[in-house]
């Protein structure tokens, strides 16, 4: 941890609390200032919500609320749960061709029976503000300019803001999804960030020992409280990305109470990486507007 960490709020155990809500609001304010300085051009984020999944509806509502705070235009497109594959594809295709729409987010998961891959493939790379298409991920692999998946980007923004050193440090990412795990590995290993990264997963032998070698742990396996104090090297930075809804409420992959007594820095759940996913989405939307000539570079 950097010496700047002395200014930050700490947990009862002494770890720096990496507050995603606070940093999200700082980023939203910065984006609004950039848009206003450019004369408030109409930067538009469109979302596609299919069905009535309550968590998805909450996520989309929060994205629109923060987009408005950032000075952006929100366009909410909704289809019923029984919408056909062709109907969903037609909507996304029309948004892709609409020059007034700069970023498109298809809220996942789609209802059962719908295949997300053909839908995502309709997104032009410049408008893929979730960074999830094969073309966006391919750009990330090759180190080319493009949109980075929002949650992994949010983890990096938290690391930057809270003084988590990455150069030459060892990092472990638990989980190998294309949504978080794989792009997180690529980001941490990128030139300029320069961590030495291990990808761990459900079949990793001696996961505790693998994690204890790390200065940075990113838990993104979707297994409630799987990361305990035994997994964490004293002073390590721990980012909790996993989200599981239980009768107790939202539970992360990290046993927060135990780990905060050992870690040097830790994200809360909720209030850590989740808000940063929205912040990164809005960052990507502003980048999309720049790529499409709406905002100055």
Q: The CATH number of the domain where 260 resides is what?
A: 3.40.50.720
- Print the SS3 string covering the chain: CCHHHHHCCECCCCCEECCHHHHHHHHHHHHHHHHHHCCCCCCEEEEEEECCCHHHHHHHHHHHHHHHHCCCEEEEEEECCCCCHHHHHHHHHHHHHCCCCCEEEECCCCCCCCCHHHHHCCCCHHHECCCCCHHHHHHHHHCCCCCCCHHHHHHHHHHHHCCCCCCCCEEEEECCCCCCHHHHHHHHHCCCCCCEEEEECCCCCCHHHHHHCCCEEEECCCCCCCECHHHCCCCCEEEECCCEEECCEEECCECHHHHCCCCCEECCCCCCHHHHHHHHHHHHHHHHHHHCCCCCC
**Model pLDDT, residue 246:** 83
**Model pLDDT, residue 238:** 98
**Model pLDDT, residue 6:** 53
User: Of residues 19, 66, 107, 253, which has the active-site annotation?
Assistant: 107
As a whole number of angstroms, the distance between CA 110 and CA 80 comes to: 11
Count of the separate structural domains present in the chain: 2
Residue 2 has pLDDT above 70, yes or no: no
Instruction: Provide the CATH number for the domain around residue 61.
Output: 3.40.50.10860
User: Of residues 19, 63, 66, 126, which has the active-site annotation?
Assistant: 63
Q: Do 56 and 155 lie in a common domain?
A: no
CA 286, 288, 292: angle at the middle one, nearest 5? 120
Give per-residue pLDDT as tens, 114-123.
999 999 999 9
Does residue 297 belong to any structural domain of this protein?
A: no
Does residue 9 belong to any structural domain of this protein?
A: no
Q: Are strands 249-251 and 244-246 parallel, antiparallel or unpaired?
A: antiparallel
Give per-residue pLDDT as tens, 131-179.
989 999 999 999 888 999 999 999 999 999 999 999 999 999 999 999 9
Q: Do 160 and 94 lie in a common domain?
A: no
**Model pLDDT, residue 29:** 98
Q: Do 166 and 232 lie in a common domain?
A: yes
Give per-residue pLDDT as tens, 241-290.
999 888 888 899 999 999 999 999 999 999 999 999 999 999 999 999 99
Does residue 131 belong to any structural domain of this protein?
A: no
**Model pLDDT, residue 212:** 97
Residue 108 has pLDDT above 90, yes or no: yes
Q: How confident is the model at residue 220 (pLDDT cuts 50, 70, 90)?
A: very high
Does residue 192 belong to any structural domain of this protein?
A: yes
Specify the long-range contacts of residues 204-210, CB closer than 8 Å, at least 24 apart.
204/174, 207/174, 207/231, 210/172
Q: Does the active-site annotation cover 25? A: no
Q: Do 113 and 166 lie in a common domain?
A: no
User: Of residues 19, 126, 128, 130, which has the active-site annotation?
Assistant: 130
Q: Do 223 and 116 lie in a common domain?
A: no
Instruction: Find the domain containing 197 and state its range.
Output: 150-274
Boundary (domain end) residue, out of 86, 109, 124: 124
Does residue 30 belong to any structural domain of this protein?
A: no
Does residue 14 belong to any structural domain of this protein?
A: no
Q: Does the active-site annotation cover 52? A: no
Q: Do 189 and 73 lie in a common domain?
A: no
Q: Does the active-site annotation cover 233? A: no
Q: Do 255 and 184 lie in a common domain?
A: yes
**Model pLDDT, residue 4:** 46
Q: Do 186 and 103 lie in a common domain?
A: no
Does residue 106 belong to any structural domain of this protein?
A: yes
Q: Do 97 and 171 lie in a common domain?
A: no
Q: Do 111 and 168 lie in a common domain?
A: no
Tokens 């990290």 sit at which residue? 254
As a whole number of angstroms, the distance between CA 26 and CA 157 comes to: 11
Does residue 1 belong to any structural domain of this protein?
A: no
Give per-residue pLDDT as tens, 34-69.
999 999 999 999 999 999 999 899 999 999 999 999
Give per-residue pLDDT as tens, 61-92.
999 999 999 999 999 999 999 999 999 999 99
Q: How confident is the model at residue 198 (pLDDT cuts 50, 70, 90)?
A: very high
Q: State mean pLDDT over 19-35.
A: 98
Q: Do 155 and 43 lie in a common domain?
A: no
Q: Do 103 and 166 lie in a common domain?
A: no
């Amino acid at each position: 941890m950097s010496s700047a960490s002395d200014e930050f709020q700490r947990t009862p155990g002494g770890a720096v609390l990496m507050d995603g809500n606070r940093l999200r609001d700082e980023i939203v304010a910065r984006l609004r200032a950039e848009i206003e300085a450019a004369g408030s051009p109409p930067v538009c984020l469109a979302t596609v919500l299919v069905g009535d999944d309550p968590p998805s509806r909450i996520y989309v509502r929060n994205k629109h609320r923060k987009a408005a705070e950032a000075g952006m235009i929100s366009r909410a497109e909704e289809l019923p749960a029984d919408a056909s594959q062709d109907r969903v594809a037609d909507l996304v295709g029309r948004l892709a061709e609409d020059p007034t729409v700069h970023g498109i987010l298809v809220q996942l998961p789609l209802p059962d029976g719908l295949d997300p891959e053909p839908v995502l493939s309709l997104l032009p790379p410049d408008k893929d503000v979730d960074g999830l298409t094969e073309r966006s991920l391919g750009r990330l692999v090759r180190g080319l300019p493009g949109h980075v998946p929002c949650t992994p980007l949010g983890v990096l923004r938290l690391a930057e803001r809270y003084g988590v050193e990455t150069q030459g440090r060892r990092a472990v990412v638990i989980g190998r999804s294309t949504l978080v795990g794989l792009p997180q590995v690529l980001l941490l290993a990128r030139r300029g960030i320069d961590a030495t990264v291990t990808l761990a997963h459900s079949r990793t032998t001696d996961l505790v020992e693998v994690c204890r070698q790390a200065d940075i742990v990113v838990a993104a396996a979707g297994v409630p409280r799987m990361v305990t104090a035994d997994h964490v090297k004293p002073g390590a930075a721990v980012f909790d990305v996993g989200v599981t809804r239980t009768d107790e409420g939202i539970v992360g992959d990290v046993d927060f109470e135990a780990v905060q007594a050992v870690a040097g820095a830790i994200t809360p759940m909720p209030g850590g990486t989740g808000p940063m996913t929205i912040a990164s989405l809005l960052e990507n939307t502003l980048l999309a507007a720049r790529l499409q000539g709406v905002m100055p570079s």
